[in-house]
Structure 1
Amino acid sequence: MFHIFIEIRYFYQLIKIDPDVINGIVEKINQNVKENGGVSFSGNNPFHFCFDDTKIGGKFACVLTLSYVKELFEEYSGRIGEYTVLCFFSTESNEVVREELENKVLQIKDDKGFFCDYPAVERLGDLVNFEPGGNKILNFYFDGILKKETVLWESGNLYLIGGKGHWAYRAFREMLRNYDMEELGNCLNNEDRKVFMELYPVSRFFDSYRYEGDWNTRNLMALEKYYTLACYALSEKSKKEKTPLILNVYNQAELDKESAVLLKKIENDPRIFQSLTFKYYKSPAVGTENKIPGELIFLLLVCSTACNYIYSFELEDFFRFLGRGNYFYGFLLKLFKSLGIVFTGDGTRGFALVGVEDSGTGNIEEVIGRFIWEKFQRKELSVSGGLYLVLNSLNFHSPVSFIQAAVFQSYENGVLVDLRERLVSGIDSKKLEKKYCTEVINMILGYCAVMQNDYNSAENYFAMGSDNVPEIYLGNVLLLIKNRNYSKAVEWVKKSLIACQNDKDVFGELRALFMMSRISMLQGQFSDAFDYLEYSFSCAETISDSYWKIKIRLDMAVNSFIQGNFAKTIRMAEEMLSLCRKSFFIDYELLGLFILGRVYHLTGDYGKAEEIFQKGIELAGDYRIEKGENLFKIWQGRVILYKGDYSRAEKIFLQYQEINPDSFLFLVESSVMFRNKLPPADFLNRAVGQYQQQPAWSDNSISWDSGFNFLEDRCFEGLGNIRIPLRLLDAYISLLKFKNNIDSESAVKTINHVTRDSGYLEFDPNNAMYFYFYYLMTEADNEEDSVDKDTLLGRAFKCMQERVSKIDDAVIQSKYMQNSYWNSKIYAEAKENKLI
């Protein structure tokens, strides 16, 4: 069957369309379809009808109907305003039908209507091209019959439609090349303009040809955000200029024609693509030395029209996808170099392969390898395991310090286990001094064992190391930290630091200083930890490494949060967010937003906190980080609870109670604040069980299992593995038991124990609340109580004052004391008892 959809799109929305007019059009189309032997399936917009192309005259009946549609819309143009007609075809019919349709219908172009063909083609060669200037026709591919969800964007009078998102991005990019980005940005509101201009350079890094159909989610959504804003901007621009914007995409037949023309141009004029000079390599696929391999002709067309960028860490998979070996690298990389194809080291920093001169000596792979290394040395690339694999594939001999940095970076990123086999197999005694080979391999295997919690194996691997590979020192540090042997860990870090400073290895120095900050934080020495972080940030700036700058700013924000300096926490988190947005580290951007939300919640700015958590919900939802989205919703529910809407908050907690233990905790908190009702024992046991089953914070992965993981629990893990949510749960349950006169004696003992720990955990942000609970649970005239009631209130007020003194912002200080739910109660009680 030959299916056709017709959909009317109104460009300017300036007039209200009379439904009777549309119904009249539908009725006439359906009548015409019926007369020509077709079948109608819908009576609205879009219209859907089909013809049986196996019947005699079926194809001509189809063409007659489309011609009638064109005439019909011309007749009605004065009544429905400016519009576009999009015709979507399936390709169950043969080429004769397609040619007939193209000749009879698809060449129709005027200011009112456009007919567009949608052949269902899915090939690498689905490339973009269009005639610059004037109206464009969107000629796009999709799989099967058009579905509504295939509409990618709909904004005013600009539409991108298709079944494969990455083809649409490629098409749209080609259109955008004709526009000045500043001019487009000015078509947006101030907030959107700022995001658009920040994402513009990012889009150049991520907007690349894919060697597979599926994109990395982060990269895909980065583009989607950028292009969505670009769509809005173009739509606004086109409304003012009254120029419909629709884009054309070539089909396979046109691609073949283009390839032939391109090859002829190359043969006749070698200066065509930036004076590109081909060296004719013998290709097993072609079998001759005097012809360019057919795959390269094809890829040349891809590169010249649609493929401007590729990730360096994808090169190995890219060539595996093409089914070619190393003989293919040199030629294609030379080709990429000449065309200015972009490689990136870590997905955030790009560079063009231009200016490489082949001196005629040495292998072209080595020439490209040296070029990439020079780019790295000029700080235009970030160290990563993927970049090392690319250099290795080009037979470039990377120094051992670079390999160490790449391994540690892969460990911190949580990808080392995935890269293990390729990294180990890449360690070649021909490329690396023999004395280093075994030790580097042991380092890789040791770090992988740490990631897999196989500490015995890790210890064995690290024991085989020597002073040749200082990174092994830090491997031992990880094991010592796990065993809480911090003094010994410091010794090993210092050995690593001295070795790196002697070798002038800034990367190594950064890693050692960062590890020192981690050890200090785990020992509760937060001021020292912050100093080490500042030193390591200075190193990150020296090497211009965006990943480490973000990671260090995160730890600075966490550190400031734990110390109670909320003003500094906000500054650190906002700096981190700015870095994340420039480099598009979405997971870390979410962490930054979460920290901000926590700060505003603790300081009683509940409106701001709810707004921040909502941003997190939207961001996590956009990038399909489901666990993160759930966590933001739960904590937004907690803010709603503190604003007094406990009914709405509890609905949120109940929805996620089986997914995240924070929901359990906040349901209990809701009972404390509004119900004074003790939950069932099995409910409480499930809450405790969920927290106990959770893995502790991992240094090489981000956990969304609880909102306490990467703040309180991460810092207090080294102080006896104390979990803050379990302390909160103990405090809440003890107060509820006391109020409900259920085992009151046990409840008082529990809160007494919690407050005694407060001296040990002086940085727990809830200390004042614990003492306030103890105060509420102590009878003033009860001689058996071991503490005086007024003393407990004084302790609660003092804890609050100590936190206030660490906030270097008067406005936040005031909010923290008088707006925050529990602090405001402590403040009011202290005032009533003349403690103020």
Structure 2
Amino acid sequence: MLYLYVELRYHRQLNKICPDIPVRFFSAVGDAVRNNGGNAARIGHAMVYTFDRKSAGFAFSASRVIDETRMLLGELRERIREYFILVDASDDPVEPEGFKERLQEYTSVILPDESILFTPTALEHLGAYVTTVALEGTRLEQYSGQKITEYTVPEQETGDALIPLVLYTDTAEDPIKLLRDMLATAPDIEVQTLLDEDSLAAYRENTAAKEVYSWFRFEKNQPAYRRDAVISLFSQQLYALSRVSGNPVPVRLAGRKPLPAECTALEETLSPVCTVTGPEQQRYLPPDVLSMPRDLLEMTYLVYRARQFLYHDELPSFFQFLDKDASFLVSLGSWLYSYGILADPADFRSVRISLEEQILERMDGAKVENDRRIAEFLWLKYEAGQLMPSIDLLEIFTTLDYHVTDSFLVGCFFTCCDNYDNGNDCLSRFSSDRVRDAVLRLADGEKAAISADFPRAESCAREVLHTFQREKIAYGEYRSFTLLSRLAYNKNKKDDAVVYLEYAFESAMRTRDSFAILDSGIDLACVHFGVGNFDSALCAAESAEKTAKKCFARDREAFLLFIKGRIFFETGDYHTAELMFQAAVSLATLYNFSEQAAIARTWYGRVLVHQGRYHAAEPIFREYAETVPEAAAFLLESAILSGHRLDNEASRNPADVVRVRGAASSGYCRIEDRSIPGVNDEYTASTVFKVFDLYYRARFGTGDDVLDCLSGLDSMAKAAQTRDDAQAAVYYYLCYELAQHVPSVSPSDGTAYLSRGFKYLQTRAKEITDTTLREQFLRNPVWNNRLFRAARENMLI
């Protein structure tokens, strides 16, 4: 522990004559101490400032404060002419009152009026940083200044308007890290002012991609579209720099080797707007690691080590986390340059790679403590939602010998639960057997739900929820509530499903995992849609869309556009629905989400049908009949609404498409099919196809018995109403239409179909809280409008 004791002589007189001077002095010294990781305590009318040996660079920090104090005294010499400043040290911390006793030995010693004095124990730590002269007749040394190594930094020789940006080829193999670190040293310019409207929109989106990429910086396989967006952002920044200077941006490669093979994308990025030279080997002063003070050696280790885990622009915040201000980095860079560690004192990327092993050898056991500092900074970023839980991040914490919480491990487990080995790696690290068992039980419950063993799934979810709540593990609560919501929806308790999802969303918010928040928001929009509360569904979708943009989750963003399209379609706003589906198609196509593009385009075709543009829609349905389950159903719907028989009837049953392509290939997958246990023939697309197929065959006389077709429709309408299928009202209306053409069916029986359909439609409409939207839902959609008019004509309203 180092102590800096500061006492102003005649402080009472100073407070009367010029009270602002002592305030200014102690305020400035206090700021310097805090900016270098020290603490302050009052002893009577004096102050004692302490620097704990456990803090990073404690002696180096103290030397900086001492020199700043000397300079401050020089500025205020007109008023402050007598003072007693003592620098002391001890192995164990000493309380202020105890330190007061240590000062007693100097009461009988004649000391200079103006001096900063050092005890021998203090110089054991500070001797490498300060120069002193002996104070005659005492054991004390008198401060004469900071120890400075003279050196000359090579000047940059360039005729360009910009100082060359330096790209260090030895520091990383990830092109994004290399470019980001290089651009962190570029001049600050307003990039947005130099871009056109389209480029500006892309710049804002790509800025989000850069942020998200850093959340997953340790992931080995980030989505290609995210990487491409970050590279595009850097290209835009370089383009803006070239516009400011009027010339290509000069880039100098520095290092012992050329760009890694993995960085070919860099050359493509740099070549249009940069002139690249090098690689050049760096020039260093002669190395002097062996004579480096211990705490400076630790700071050197941190510089070497941090570059493996942090971006260059994060170094200031890392040192701020260590209670060091920006000027500390400037001083540190100068000292590391003088010891031959840095080629450029202003650029910590310019480390001498060849000295790394020697520094590691000298660190011995101190590596663990300094690795912990980096790990704690990364953990802080995780807790702030700036790093996402993953197996790769877990490996980083393991490398740094940092013990993570069970809550973190729960998040890791469920992000990699499709990988058995990784899941086992997580399970072996839990500190609580109770939490480990709860995780396994929840995973078992999720698998049971997929295999339609709903009682078992519910038992698992309810059992583990209490464990996670007791242990305050938000991620476990989020997954448990999500599973309970799914099970409630499956049992047709849709209001309960909404409540559970609202709890899940609150739990996801507490995890600070943006992707958990996003997925929870999407689920909430889907369930509100399934319930029929379209205004709430739209609000949830728009909220989730903002989160998707923040997460640069283009796949989810395309899906949310699709959901919004479906909401507008269900409420009869066909123009807006058309725009939403087109936007979803464009976004999905741009990022090669071919399945999503196909689904959105199929539903765009259905909008065309409901707008009476049958000839434009039918080619779309035929194109996707083999890949999108509902395409064949919508083709039949087009024929029914247009009143024209199909030239070539679709023979592909949606159940066969689902069997080949999977349930996710349908636009009904995330909403209507949430409550389907998993039998292909029961998926919504299959049911819709069967209903339209029965009506089509009966209406267009394909040889089927019309009464049999009506009987089939009647059975399917009743089954749909039983499971609260939103399409039940349409099915009953089709029964009513068909009954009018079957002589053996009485008018009253036909009207009964109409009555059931209209009552069910009214029940659905009650779920919509917005009055205008409710009225729109009843009157605007094509099928609802026909049902509404028929009900009015038959005096059911």
TM-score (norm 1): 0.59
Instruction: Evaluate the alpha carbon distance shift between residue 711 and residue 406 of structure 1 in structure 2; reply closer, same or farther with a 3 A threshold.
Output: same
| 1:362 matches 2:368 | yes
Instruction: Look up the match of 2:677.
Output: 717
Instruction: Look up the match of 2:281.
Output: 260
Mapped to 1, the partners of 2:697 and 2:609 lie a distance apart of: 21
Which structure would you say has the larger Rg?
2
Corresponding residue to 1:218 among 202, 225, 228: 225
Instruction: Evaluate the alpha carbon distance shift between residue 731 and residue 226 of structure 1 in structure 2; reply closer, same or farther with a 3 A threshold.
Output: farther
Runs of 5+ consecutive residues of structure 2 not aligned to the other structure: 1-155, 168-172, 259-277, 318-341, 350-362
- The CA deviation string for residues 645-693 of structure 1, in whole angstroms up to 9 with x for no partner, is 2222122222232332332222222222225426767x43544421344
Instruction: Evaluate the alpha carbon distance shift between residue 786 and residue 402 of structure 1 in structure 2; reply closer, same or farther with a 3 A threshold.
Output: farther
Equivalent residue letter for 2:791: A
Mapped to 2, the partners of 1:567 and 1:722 lie a distance apart of: 28
Q: CA deviation at 1:361?
A: 6.8
What is the number of equivalent residue pairs in this alignment? Answer: 574
| 1:522 matches 2:490 | yes
Paired residues of 2:409 and 2:426 also in contact (CA < 8 A)? no
Mapped to 1, the partners of 2:587 and 2:393 lie a distance apart of: 29
Instruction: Look up the match of 2:34.
Output: none
Paired residues of 1:480 and 1:489 also in contact (CA < 8 A)? yes
Instruction: Look up the match of 1:706.
Output: 666
Instruction: Look up the match of 1:732.
Output: 692
Q: CA deviation at 1:408?
A: 1.7
Instruction: Evaluate the alpha carbon distance shift between residue 732 and residue 188 of structure 1 in structure 2; reply closer, same or farther with a 3 A threshold.
Output: same
| 1:593 matches 2:561 | yes
Mapped to 1, the partners of 2:162 and 2:562 lie a distance apart of: 45
Q: CA deviation at 1:535?
A: 1.5
Instruction: Look up the match of 1:110.
Output: none
Q: CA deviation at 1:817?
A: 2.5
Corresponding residue to 2:657 among 675, 685, 690: 690
Alignment of 1:659-698 (within 5 A): 659-677=627-645, 683-696=650-663
Q: CA deviation at 1:474?
A: 0.9
| 1:750 matches 2:771 | no
Paired residues of 1:517 and 1:530 also in contact (CA < 8 A)? yes
Mapped to 2, the partners of 1:636 and 1:276 lie a distance apart of: 65
Paired residues of 1:526 and 1:559 also in contact (CA < 8 A)? yes
| 1:766 matches 2:787 | no
Mapped to 1, the partners of 2:174 and 2:591 lie a distance apart of: 15
Q: CA deviation at 1:790?
A: 1.9
Mapped to 2, the partners of 1:753 and 1:695 lie a distance apart of: 27
- The CA deviation string for residues 23-79 of structure 1, in whole angstroms up to 9 with x for no partner, is xxxxxxxxxxxxxxxxxxxxxxxxxxxxxxxxxxxxxxxxxxxxxxxxxxxxxxxxx
Runs of 5+ consecutive residues of structure 1 not aligned to the other structure: 1-128, 141-163, 282-291, 310-333, 342-356, 437-465, 697-702
Paired residues of 1:384 and 1:406 also in contact (CA < 8 A)? yes
Paired residues of 1:174 and 1:306 also in contact (CA < 8 A)? no
Alignment of 1:422-433 (within 5 A): 422=422, 424=424
Instruction: Evaluate the alpha carbon distance shift between residue 134 and residue 369 of structure 1 in structure 2; reply closer, same or farther with a 3 A threshold.
Output: closer
Aligned-residue CA RMSD in angstroms?
4.8
Paired residues of 1:389 and 1:426 also in contact (CA < 8 A)? no
Mapped to 1, the partners of 2:505 and 2:618 lie a distance apart of: 42
| 1:403 matches 2:395 | no
Corresponding residue to 2:454 among 486, 489, 494: 486
Q: CA deviation at 1:582?
A: 0.6
Equivalent residue letter for 1:755: A
Instruction: Look up the match of 2:759.
Output: 798
Q: What SS does the aligned partner of 2:282 have? A: helix
Instruction: Look up the match of 2:777.
Output: 816
Equivalent residue letter for 2:614: Y
Percent pairwise identity: 21
Instruction: Evaluate the alpha carbon distance shift between residue 751 and residue 229 of structure 1 in structure 2; reply closer, same or farther with a 3 A threshold.
Output: farther
Instruction: Look up the match of 2:113.
Output: none
Alignment of 1:233-248 (within 5 A): 234=240, 244=246, 246-248=248-250
Alignment of 1:116-127 (within 5 A): none
Mapped to 1, the partners of 2:178 and 2:374 lie a distance apart of: 29
| 1:555 matches 2:511 | no
Mapped to 2, the partners of 1:829 and 1:230 lie a distance apart of: 62
Instruction: Look up the match of 1:382.
Output: 388
Equivalent residue letter for 2:750: K
Equivalent residue letter for 1:408: F
Mapped to 2, the partners of 1:469 and 1:211 lie a distance apart of: 28
Q: CA deviation at 1:506?
A: 2.6
Mapped to 1, the partners of 2:531 and 2:698 lie a distance apart of: 31
Q: CA deviation at 1:371?
A: 3.8
Q: CA deviation at 1:714?
A: 2.0
Equivalent residue letter for 1:368: I
Q: CA deviation at 1:567?
A: 0.8
Mapped to 2, the partners of 1:391 and 1:173 lie a distance apart of: 26
- The CA deviation string for residues 418-452 of structure 1, in whole angstroms up to 9 with x for no partner, is xx435545776xx666x95xxxxxxxxxxxxxxxx
Equivalent residue letter for 1:738: A
Instruction: Evaluate the alpha carbon distance shift between residue 308 and residue 643 of structure 1 in structure 2; reply closer, same or farther with a 3 A threshold.
Output: farther
Instruction: Evaluate the alpha carbon distance shift between residue 267 and residue 688 of structure 1 in structure 2; reply closer, same or farther with a 3 A threshold.
Output: same
Mapped to 2, the partners of 1:340 and 1:710 lie a distance apart of: 49
Paired residues of 2:605 and 2:621 also in contact (CA < 8 A)? yes
Instruction: Look up the match of 1:184.
Output: 192
Q: CA deviation at 1:139?
A: 13
Mapped to 1, the partners of 2:226 and 2:186 lie a distance apart of: 20
Q: CA deviation at 1:230?
A: 6.5
Mapped to 2, the partners of 1:171 and 1:132 lie a distance apart of: 25
Q: What SS does the aligned partner of 1:710 have? A: coil
Instruction: Evaluate the alpha carbon distance shift between residue 554 and residue 210 of structure 1 in structure 2; reply closer, same or farther with a 3 A threshold.
Output: closer
Equivalent residue letter for 2:692: Y
Q: What SS does the aligned partner of 1:658 have? A: coil
Mapped to 1, the partners of 2:487 and 2:682 lie a distance apart of: 16
Equivalent residue letter for 1:564: G
Q: CA deviation at 1:826?
A: 1.9
Alignment of 1:286-301 (within 5 A): none
Instruction: Evaluate the alpha carbon distance shift between residue 607 and residue 569 of structure 1 in structure 2; reply closer, same or farther with a 3 A threshold.
Output: same
Paired residues of 1:222 and 1:584 also in contact (CA < 8 A)? no
Alignment of 1:46-125 (within 5 A): none
TM-score (norm 2): 0.62
Q: CA deviation at 1:596?
A: 0.6
